[in-house]
Amino acid sequence: MKIAVSAIGPSLDEEVDPRFGRCQYFIIVDPDTMEAEILDNSNANAAGGAGISAGQTISSKGATVLLTGNCGPNAFQTLSAANIAVITGVSGKVRDAIQKYKAGEYQSTTQANVVDHFGKDGNPNMGNPGMFGGGGRGMGKGGGRGMGRGRGMGQ
């Protein structure tokens, strides 16, 4: 078994990154030996598809469990298709998170816990319409102009 953890730095003593697809590092750990493989997340700054690519990366490394703070819907779908158990709400040091997993303190989730593009631009509170106060883009611009084909009243 291998556990993948989203991390802010390249060490077991670093903090778990709250973002999965846009984390700085993936740490792939054998929980029995605590031997770790550190991977830079080359898709952290991608314009789109970061979660899907991240899911494919950890799947290719043989991970069967993911410990992370948050996971969006596209990443969750990719991870589920690869039979990787997703555990969200994880924080603290990577080493401690693995120990808590081994002690049975975490339960896998059945769905994403954030919207698409969570954590884009390095800020987990931006780019999320309707979440965390004002992430929406307001691009409607009133383009409808009231020119529908409805018959209106009295016709």
Domain boundaries, the chain: 3-122
Q: What is the mean pLDDT of residues 73-99?
A: 96
Least confident of 61-70, 134-143, 144-153: 134-143
Q: What is the mean pLDDT of residues 55-60?
A: 96
| Model pLDDT, residue 117 | 52
DSSP string, 42-83: TTTT-SS-HHHHHHHHHHHTT--EEE-SB--HHHHHHHHHTT
For residue 3, pLDDT over 90 is answered with: yes
For residue 137, pLDDT over 60 is answered with: no
Look at the pTM and tell me if it is higher than 0.85: no
Alpha carbons 135 and 130: distance in angstroms, whole number: 6
Q: What is the mean pLDDT of residues 102-108?
A: 95
Q: What is the mean pLDDT of residues 4-12?
A: 98
For residue 109, pLDDT over 70 is answered with: yes
CATH code of the domain occupying 3-122:
3.30.420.130
| Model pLDDT, residue 129 | 37
For residue 135, pLDDT over 50 is answered with: no
By the 8 A CB rule, do 52 and 72 touch? no
| Model pLDDT, residue 119 | 52
For residue 131, pLDDT over 50 is answered with: no
For residue 128, pLDDT over 50 is answered with: no
Alpha carbons 37 and 52: distance in angstroms, whole number: 20
By the 8 A CB rule, do 4 and 63 touch? yes
| Model pLDDT, residue 115 | 65
